[in-house]
């Protein structure tokens, strides 16, 4: 339909009045837009320019092809130009790069193997994606160093891994070692994949914890799972150099860390993040937003009324905080593409809502998932909030196979849900999806308490994890259950009586120094003993998860004592980092 072909330099004629849509970038958002555009307008000319060899590939599946969990190399290549032509009459041009935009003339300069040409558009969609950020580490040019964002990255990495496996098959006795730099979502998926592939893996993360977006009380659960699978963790430290080893050395390189640690590696995988690939947009003079994003309105339209942008490079507004920035996630990208197509073709749109940043990762047997801002983000944005923690079974506790779901959720003082995170071995994705839906709905603690979720013993509980989150938040926010936080243990331990209402056996297995142990079932009879020990101080109550200590807190409050319940109980306490100095109330 487009008369221009590689080599031509003139603007194509527009003889039949069909709309000319040009899409830059043929993955996720770009391809969603192109497909939707065709469904809305059978006559439109739709050209998709993709600079790589592949369109419409499943980028999120790359780690699972590294591991072999997805064995078929073609499984991630969902479509090709021929199938897209046949199904959707799209003109998909791989290895064609949009080199410049003439916004006045409404043309794109395209660079291809055969030369450059101009392509006229009535509507231009930019879906350029993101580029991998490389940290300031010396020696990243070594062939042992890889990234994992494109099909080309995948092939390079798996080729190297196959080579190393061939060495093992040929008699190499040294175990193959990998270091992953960056313990974010993709980094952790890569760690899991490399372990599955049989490598010995270290991970280096500049932040003090794995998966930095995760609340500090939840991240150690992932760290434990990684260690249990033999992964070496190097947290709170940067890598500084990749040092080539001499021929005949056991490993190809050594990765040096800032503290002098030297990690042997045959593969170094760098995964410290991405940045919007907005160079083309910037060069065309389109307005940019925060952190190099392309600024768009709620219909994905840029500062130019004939140009739209979607995906990793497009700016979004974050829910709750109202801050702006990129959101490099596949789900939003796909929906943005659909919306942009609607807007480009004059179809009614669903304006983009502020994004929640819902995300999830599998780390061996654990799942971690988040929706909405975490404590740090809320605090940075100055959003007042209270956090509650629940450790509740993913289905009825008396039904075989019950696993705890560990939830940390943030609520506004008026009860509104602000964000939630969960970690566990089962049912985590379900709870985060429900909480993401609730967050989008503007639900509060009362709404969560009243949610009517599906209950039969294999699936949930009459009081689901999400209901429990609502109940606890109600109790905290209306003052029924004052609480204290494990992060404040130093201060609380110094000023309060710590009351452990677990059983004597649980107490004996591990407790805070100086804690008084009164099992909750004995509390009513021993209330005077507690009053005496408190000697006018507040009473900081805890049990294992916060349930029994809630009952105890109510008894103490009724007795006129100033009692608070430890949010999340002992289970949260043992995973919560505290100030570097050893507190008086440290676990004995």
For residues 326 and 333, give the distance between their C-alpha atoms in angstroms, rounded to a whole number: 11
Binding residue for a copy of itself, selected from 131, 451, 491, 562, defined by CB under 8 A: 451
Enumerate the β-bridge partners of residue 404: 393
**Interface of this chain with a copy of itself, residues 395 to 434, rule: CB under 8 A:** 396, 398-400, 429-430, 432-434
User: Which is nearer to a copy of itself, 70 or 241 (by Cβ)?
Assistant: 70
CA distances from 406 to 47, 318, 439 (A): 47, 25, 18
Binding residue for a copy of itself, selected from 16, 113, 414, 452, defined by CB under 8 A: 452
**Interface of this chain with a copy of itself, residues 550 to 579, rule: CB under 8 A:** 550-551, 554-555, 558-559
User: Which is nearer to a copy of itself, 105 or 397 (by Cβ)?
Assistant: 397
Least CB distance to a copy of itself at residue 491 (A):
27
**Interface of this chain with a copy of itself, residues 480 to 499, rule: CB under 8 A:** 480
**Interface of this chain with a copy of itself, residues 284 to 323, rule: CB under 8 A:** none
**243: CB partners within 8 A, 6+ apart:** 139, 253, 254, 255, 256, 262
Per the structure block, which two tokens stand in for 564? Answer: 């608070």
Of the candidates 405, 129, 139, the residue with the CA atom closest to the CA atom of residue 277: 129
Residue 457 binds to a copy of itself (criterion: CB under 8 A) = yes
Least CB distance to a copy of itself at residue 457 (A):
5
**Interface of this chain with a copy of itself, residues 335 to 354, rule: CB under 8 A:** 335, 338, 347-348, 350, 352-353
Residue 447 binds to a copy of itself (criterion: CB under 8 A) = yes
Binding residue for a copy of itself, selected from 449, 497, 543, 566, defined by CB under 8 A: 449
For residues 387 and 370, give the distance between their C-alpha atoms in angstroms, rounded to a whole number: 14
Per the listing, tokens 């349930």 go with 547
- Binding-site residue total for a copy of itself (CB under 8 A)? 93
Region of 126-134, 175-183, 223-231, 450-458 interacting with a copy of itself (CB under 8 A): 450-458
CB of 120 closer than 8 Å to CB of 306: no
* Contact map string, positions 27 to 46, toward a copy of itself, x by CB under 8 A: -x---------xxxxxx---
Of the candidates 146, 129, 148, the residue with the CA atom closest to the CA atom of residue 65: 148
* Contact map string, positions 159 to 198, toward a copy of itself, x by CB under 8 A: --------------------------x---x---------
Number of Cα atoms under 13 Å in the Cβ half of residue 497: 22
Least CB distance to a copy of itself at residue 439 (A):
9
Binding residue for a copy of itself, selected from 456, 494, 574, 579, defined by CB under 8 A: 456
Residue 26 binds to a copy of itself (criterion: CB under 8 A) = no
CB of 250 closer than 8 Å to CB of 266: no
H or E element in which residue 145 lies: strand 145-146
* Contact map string, positions 73 to 112, toward a copy of itself, x by CB under 8 A: --xx-x-------xxxx-----------------------
User: Which is nearer to a copy of itself, 358 or 575 (by Cβ)?
Assistant: 358
CB of 138 closer than 8 Å to CB of 242: yes
CA distances from 487 to 25, 493, 561, 580, 583 (A): 45, 11, 23, 12, 11
- Taking the CA atoms of residue 264, residue 267, residue 271 and residue 274 in that order, the dihedral angle to the nearest 10 degrees is 130
- Please spell the DSSP secondary structure of 54-73, one letter per residue: -SSB-GGGHHHHHHTSS--T
Region of 228-236, 246-254, 307-315, 449-457 interacting with a copy of itself (CB under 8 A): 449-457
Residue 364 binds to a copy of itself (criterion: CB under 8 A) = no
For residues 106 and 121, give the distance between their C-alpha atoms in angstroms, rounded to a whole number: 6
Residue 64 binds to a copy of itself (criterion: CB under 8 A) = yes
For residues 189 and 180, give the distance between their C-alpha atoms in angstroms, rounded to a whole number: 10
For residues 57 and 538, give the distance between their C-alpha atoms in angstroms, rounded to a whole number: 59
Classify strands 107-112 and 96-102 as parallel, antiparallel or unpaired: antiparallel
Binding residue for a copy of itself, selected from 249, 379, 384, 441, defined by CB under 8 A: 441
**Interface of this chain with a copy of itself, residues 510 to 549, rule: CB under 8 A:** 520-521, 524, 548
Binding residue for a copy of itself, selected from 14, 478, 513, 529, defined by CB under 8 A: 478
Quick count: other Cβ atoms within 10 Å of Cβ 208? Answer: 12
8-state DSSP, 545:
S
User: Which is nearer to a copy of itself, 91 or 304 (by Cβ)?
Assistant: 91
**Interface of this chain with a copy of itself, residues 192 to 231, rule: CB under 8 A:** none
Region of 123-131, 252-260, 289-297, 467-475 interacting with a copy of itself (CB under 8 A): 467-475
Region of 141-149, 365-373, 531-539, 580-588 interacting with a copy of itself (CB under 8 A): 365-373
Number of Cα atoms under 13 Å in the Cβ half of residue 440: 14
CB of 375 closer than 8 Å to CB of 217: no
């Amino acid at each position: 339909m487009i008369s221009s072909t590689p080599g031509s330099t003139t603007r194509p004629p527009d003889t039949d009045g069909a709309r000319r849509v040009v899409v830059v970038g043929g993955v996720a958002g770009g391809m969603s837009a192109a497909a939707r555009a065709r469904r809305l307008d059978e006559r439109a000319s739709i050209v998709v320019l993709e600079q790589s060899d592949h369109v419409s590939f499943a980028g999120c599946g790359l780690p699972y092809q590294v591991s072999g969990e997805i064995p078929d190399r073609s499984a991630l290549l969902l479509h090709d130009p021929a199938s897209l032509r046949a199904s959707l009459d799209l003109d998909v041009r791989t290895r064609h790069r949009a080199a410049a935009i003439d916004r006045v003339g409404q043309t794109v300069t395209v660079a291809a193997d055969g030369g450059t040409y101009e392509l006229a558009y009535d509507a231009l969609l930019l879906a350029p994606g993101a580029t991998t950020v490389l940290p300031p580490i010396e020696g990243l040019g070594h062939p042992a160093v890889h990234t994992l964002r494109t099909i080309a990255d995948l092939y390079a990495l798996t080729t190297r891994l196959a080579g190393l496996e061939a060495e093992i098959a040929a008699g190499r006795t040294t175990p193959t070692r990998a270091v992953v730099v960056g313990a974010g979502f993709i980094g952790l998926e890569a760690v899991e994949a490399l372990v599955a592939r049989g490598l010995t893996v270290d991970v280096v993360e500049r932040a003090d914890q794995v998966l930095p977006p995760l609340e500090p009380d939840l991240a150690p659960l992932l760290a434990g799972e990684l260690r249990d699978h033999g992964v070496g963790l190097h947290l709170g430290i940067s890598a500084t150099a990749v040092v080539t080893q001499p021929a005949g050395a056991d490993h190809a390189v050594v990765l040096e860390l800032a503290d002098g640690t030297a990690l042997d590696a045959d593969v170094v995988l760098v995964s410290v993040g991405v940045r919007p690939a907005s160079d083309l947009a910037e060069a065309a003079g389109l307005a940019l937003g925060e952190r190099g994003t392309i600024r768009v309105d709620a219909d994905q339209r840029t500062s130019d009324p004939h140009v739209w942008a979607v995906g990793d490079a497009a700016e979004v507004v974050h829910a709750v905080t109202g801050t702006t920035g990129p959101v490099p996630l596949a789900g939003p990208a796909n929906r943005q593409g659909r919306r942009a197509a609607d807007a480009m073709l004059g179809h009614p749109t669903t304006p983009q809502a502020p994004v929640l940043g819902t995300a999830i990762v599998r780390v061996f047997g654990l799942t971690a998932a988040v929706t909405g801002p975490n404590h740090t983000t809320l605090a940075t944005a100055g959003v007042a909030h209270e956090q509650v923690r629940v450790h509740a079974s993913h289905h009825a506790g008396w039904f075989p196979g019950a696993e705890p779901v560990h939830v940390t959720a943030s609520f506004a003082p008026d009860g509104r849900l602000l964000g939630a995170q969960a970690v566990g071995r089962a049912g985590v994705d379900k709870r985060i999806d429900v909480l993401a839906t609730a967050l989008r709905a503007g639900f509060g603690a009362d709404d969560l308490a009243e949610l009517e979720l599906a209950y039969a013993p294999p699936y949930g509980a009459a009081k689901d994890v999400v209901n429990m989150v609502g109940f606890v938040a109600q109790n905290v926010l209306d003052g029924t259950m004052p609480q204290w936080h494990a992060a404040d243990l130093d201060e609380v331990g110094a000023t309060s009586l710590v009351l452990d209402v677990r059983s004597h056996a649980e107490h004996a297995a591990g407790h805070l120094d100086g804690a008084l142990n009164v099992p909750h079932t004995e509390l009513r009879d021993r209330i005077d003993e507690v009053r005496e020990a408190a000697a006018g101080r507040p009473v900081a109550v805890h049990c294992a998860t916060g349930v029994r200590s809630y009952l105890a807190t109510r008894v103490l409050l009724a007795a006129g004592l100033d009692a608070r319940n430890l949010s999340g109980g002992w289970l949260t306490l043992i995973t919560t980092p505290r100030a570097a100095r050893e507190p008086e109330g440290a676990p004995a």
